[in-house]
Structure 1
Amino acid sequence: MHFLFARFRKKPYLCNVNVLERHIEILLLSNDCVIVPGLGGFMAHHVDARYDETDGTFLPPLRTLGFNPRLTMNDSLLVQSYIEAYDISYPEALRRIEAEVAEIRQHLESKREYELNDIGILRLNQEGNLEFEPCEAGILTPYLYGLSSFEMSPLVVETKVPVETPQNEDTAKVPEESAITIKMSWLRNAVAAAAAIIAFFMIGTPISNGDSAMEMQQSAFIAIPQHTIISQQQTADDIQETQTVSKEDAKDSISAEADVTTEETSSKSTYCIVLASQVTQKNAEIFIEKLSKEGYSEVRLVTSKSNMLRIVYGNYASETEAANSLRSLRNKSDYFEQSWVLEIKD
């Protein structure tokens, strides 16, 4: 910043509002809030990259400005900038700023609007209040330099419909019927062969061995059903065991899903209202003290994970509750005109 203001040093001073514009623009490089005593405060906001569906254009991120005419308290940031640029005293710097602000207000009274180059346009409405229209291209931001918009048309996905090939139903059924016929005839032949063997033993065995023949006959006829019954019982037991295991697996799966759901719902978020961000410690303390004296006791200073300082207000359980509170606060005080809702994760 010393380098940027070096061109102002040791030059005769003339009451020129363009000088005030340059000071504001340069201070906004490293600050999100610059207060002009007697005029109002300029607050920077970050706008994320976005997609314009109307013309298929991706727009880069930028920093834009808001204006609050109620922020007229001197925080010494702009005065210190004048002191460093012109090597003058504090009262002299404050006097120059007041003269430039008076020139702006005089121009607004006659022309109803005044343009601050690369910052925006100030207008005086019918009620005599100041309105601000920020520069459409955003304010100067070095870390966003070089990012430009580009066009990309949406991709059209072509859907291929599969063509079904007709099949001959009679031809498809023939192999199945043939297979069943072969199996049944094989089964009948096997039964017939078994019956022939049993009849041979019954006829060819002597009478003296009638008991053993009868036992053999009984064993031959009993063996097949016993094997069949055992197989059926084993199959039923297997089915019952499979069903039991499946039920246990289902219970375990449901229990695991319930645990995951409980863990996911256990994490909570809170919401607050942001008045300013990326402010200096000194400016934040002065602003918080002023709001506290006016009755806003819930205002405080928080630090993000990236060490960004923010002035926030309140602590709400839901985004809807925070938004309703913000609307109510905007009706009560102009301090909350440019504020927004921020989610804070635990």
Structure 2
Amino acid sequence: MQIEKHISDLLYRYQCVTVPGFGAFLTETISAHVTGSASSFFPPKKVVSFNANVKNNDGLLANHVALQEKMSYELAVIKIGDVVNEWTYLLQNRNRVVLKNIGEISVNNEMNWVFEPVNTINYLTDSFGLSSFVSPEITREVLKQEVEALEEKAPIIFTPERKRDYSYLKYAAVFVVMLGAGGLGYMTYNNQQIETKTLAVQKNVQEKVQQQIQEATFVISNPINTVELAVAEEKMPYHLVAGAYRSEENAKKAIVELNAAGFEKAKMLPLNNHNLYPVVYGSFKNLNDAQTERKNIQKTHNAEAWLLIE
């Protein structure tokens, strides 16, 4: 049994996969980054590491092996133990343990286990299809130096301007100022007269309106109907996934089976980027509720249930 294949499959969905009695493979997500003078761009990825001190059986690997190999949980634990004994024997005799698509484990001079991960596999599903690339160097500084050299060689000639007589402009400015002052005085007087008449008319109109309001009786014959405002649907970004199906018909059948099993909130999410229809046990508003329900379902119904975060 090639247990490394099952470990590799689980690393796509979980941050920690423990091999009982041997150690744990851990994943850490790193952001996209640029390295080197040639501008090498690398997409986000999951980096795999190994911790030989974590050896407790959390049931994840054994449950997965039991489901994939069509055997009981107890037999899966025994099979895993046989593989662990073989790996341990190889390391005690200073041999390498090669795990396909995961890495190599060797022993140093102090008899400590050293793990070297495989860098060609990216376990971050969000980076599916993305690869690293190298951007060519931009020669901006070379062009700048060429322009500066041309500027030094090109002669600059200044042509003196002829002095012109603009004395007539000051007389025109004085005339414009006097004309503006006269017009401003007339406009101020005219505006004051208009404002006085407007206030008198407004006062008369307000008195008539107040008198009519006191005498009037208001009766609303056609009241406005009540307007119902639509309340925005509460966002539920955490989904507990039971499986993903290529066919929409199979996804609907899975929902019927989950409803029959007592999961009344089971539903189908829209088609994702991988052309699959995710079927979920339910959606949750916060991460704590989603993780609690995931643990319960993994123990009682489906050990392969996993969490999707939008």
TM-score scaled by length of structure 2: 0.48
- The one of the two structures with greater contact order (alpha-carbon pairs below 8 A, sep at least 6) is 1
Higher helix share: 1
Rg bigger for which structure?
1
TM-score normalised by L of structure 1: 0.43
